[in-house]
Structure 1
Amino acid sequence: MAVATFGVTVLDCPDPRALAEFYGAVLGWELNPDAEGEDWAELNGPHGRALAFQLSEGYQPPRWPGTEHGQQFHLDLDVPREQLDAAEERVIALGARLLEGDEGGKRAWRVYADPVGHPFCLCAC
């Protein structure tokens, strides 16, 4: 028997609303107006999925791939292979930065940092 059910993934950040808007634009998810405050913002996705953002005073971004401020975890976001280049252009325009490419197509993922430094991957599916 399970002890718990999975609720929400929460990212620490210096500005919850701004980071929620970034991921909302990337994923096409809506900001939950009932779960928003000065120190919290939440996105609602399909099938009951949720992604939340919590204010962290003194936030220190991870340093990927270093271990001094390790990544702790990252998000893998699926993109149809034929749309990977366009997806990269879009996330960069929204404020992401490329950390590691796909080695000229040898790998099926590319690594980025969101506007506050959390690593995430666009993965070809």
Structure 2
Amino acid sequence: MTVPKTSVLVLDCAEPEALARFYASLLGARTAPAGGDPDLLLVAGPSGTVLGIRRDPDRVPPSWPLPDGPEQPHLRILVEPDALDEAEREAVALGARPLAVDTPTADPAGRTTHRRYADPAGHAFVLAAAGRPPAGARAR
């Protein structure tokens, strides 16, 4: 018999309260303490997504994307293709910092399909177009 499990991506930072507020606002989620660990907050979204934010006063933000290496692990936030511009405005207004990209990826209509950012604590995340295909596109 397999023991029931769940998984949570945990981001470390010096100020978990501020970062939890950032992600709660960005995701339309709520925050709550993680029972038993005073340094861990949980951000729970309406879609069932749970993100942990843990206090680590010694954490140093990564450099991402690395100029000579692959992408590092990152959070990918999916939005409708037509909502990518609005999602970007929300993220930047909340404190996200756009990350330079050498080669943007576009869909058949020429729209950018994903955009990279750093959250206020320096963690990488991507806003990515997902959901229904653009009008006139055929599934393959």
Fold match (TM-score > 0.5): yes
Contact residue 10 and residue 51 of structure 1 kept, 8 A: yes
Contact residue 76 and residue 123 of structure 1 kept, 8 A: yes
Gaps of 5+ in 1: none
Q: Deviations over 1:45-101 (max 9, x none)?
A: 24643111101121100100127xx97410000011111111111100100011035
Tell me: CA distance 1:71–1:20, structure 2 relative to 1, closer, same or farther (3 Å): farther
Contact residue 62 and residue 71 of structure 1 kept, 8 A: no
User: Aligned Cα RMSD in Å?
Assistant: 2.9
Matched residue count: 124
Which ranges of 4 or more aligned residues in structure 1 deviate by more than 4 Å? 1-4, 33-38
1:103 match:
104
- 1:14 and 1:50 map into 2 onto residues whose CA distance is 20
TM-score, scaled relative to structure 2: 0.74
1:86 match:
86
- 1:35 and 1:45 map into 2 onto residues whose CA distance is 18
Of the structure 1 ranges 39-48 and 113-122, higher mean CA displacement relative to structure 2 is found in 39-48
2:136 match:
none
* Identical-residue share of aligned pairs (%): 40
Gaps of 5+ in 2: 131-140
Letter aligned with residue 88 of structure 1: E
- 2:23 and 2:97 map into 1 onto residues whose CA distance is 14
Return the structure number with greater helix share. 1
Of the structure 1 ranges 22-31 and 35-44, higher mean CA displacement relative to structure 2 is found in 35-44
- 1:29 and 1:66 map into 2 onto residues whose CA distance is 30
1:112 is aligned, of 111, 117, 123, to 117
